[in-house]
Amino acid sequence: MRIEATKLGKRFHREWIFRGLNHTFHPGTATAVLGPNGSGKSTLLNTLSGQILPTEGSLVYSFQGQPVAVEDVPRRLAYCAPYLELIEELTLSELLHFHTRFKPLRPGITPAQLIERMYLEKSRHKLVRDFSSGMKQRLKLGLALYADSPLLLLDEPTTNLDRAGVAWYQEHVQATVAGRLVIVSSNVPEEYAFCQHQISVTDFGAQAAR
């Protein structure tokens, strides 16, 4: 997936969150979006994903040289973020069955294997509602990392993870990013150490515009 942002700006009410953002995100690269709390990292990720509309400027998406309409972006997107909810009324097995009907896993991995990779075998029949916050985060990450999607957006990916969870994330992100466009919103170097590129939302008029 390739995303070309031109003069991109987002304003909530009278407040410009970012403005004049020109950047091309190339396939097969990983970019960290940096900035202090409240600077607009999540807003930028949501805008790039097509989930919220920019106030000004344009976003052009393409995949393998073919244009992709913004309404087709969700089909090619895997997104892990603290504000995206899991279906808590399902057991882990039920959730994987349901989720992978809409968002298939990458070739070569089955839902049962993903459960093993997430170290959640013992919780196969547990309701997601009863998972700990770290287990939920590992599940969200597992679903995104192992989705068969060329665009991977990770917002604060180690939220709620302990040391072992962070090491698990680092191992599995390394194993799944090749060939994809990956964008990570973060303030924690261990979350984005694998990224070749960094941009800061505050470089795009955010502070100046306030």
State the minimum distance, in angstroms, from the CB of residue 137 to ligand ATP: 15
Shortest Cβ 51–ligand ATP spacing (Å):
11
Q: Is 9 one of the binding residues for ligand ATP (CB under 6 A)?
A: no
**Beta strand segments in 26-108, E:** 30-34, 56-63, 66-68, 77-80
Q: What is the DSSP letter of 86?
A: P
Min. distance of Cβ 14 from ligand ATP in angstroms? 10
CA 59 and chain centroid, separation: 17
Total chain residues near ligand ATP (CB under 6 A): 10
Q: Which stretch binds ligand ATP (CB under 6 A): 32-40, 67-75, 118-126, 135-143?
A: 32-40
- CA distances 127 to 7, 80, 96, 168, 198, Å, are 45, 20, 12, 22, 38
The residue within the footprint of ligand ATP, chosen from 7, 24, 38, 132 (CB under 6 A), is 38
Q: Among the candidate windows 37-45, 57-65, 93-101, 135-143, which touches ligand ATP by CB under 6 A?
A: 37-45
Candidates 38-46, 85-93, 95-103, 123-131; binding stretch for ligand ATP (CB under 6 A): 38-46
Phi then psi for residue 94, to 5 deg, are: -65, -40
Structure tokens at 86: 């899991």
How far apart CA 163 and CA 169 sit, in angstroms, is 10
**Least Å from the CB of residue 74 to ligand ATP:** 19
Taking CB under 6 A as the criterion, which residues in 150-209 touch ligand ATP? Answer: none
Between 15 and 130, name the residue whose CB sits nearer to ligand ATP: 15
**Closest listed residue to residue 210, CA positions, set 71, 20, 80, 39:** 39
Strand order from edge to edge, sheet including 77-80: 77-80, 151-155, 181-185, 30-34, 197-200
Q: Give the nearest distance from C-beta 127 to ligand ATP in angstroms.
A: 28
Q: Which of 37, 65, 66, 69 binds ligand ATP (CB under 6 A)?
A: 37
Kindly list the residues in this chain that would bind ligand ATP in the complex (CB under 6 A). 12, 17, 35, 37-43
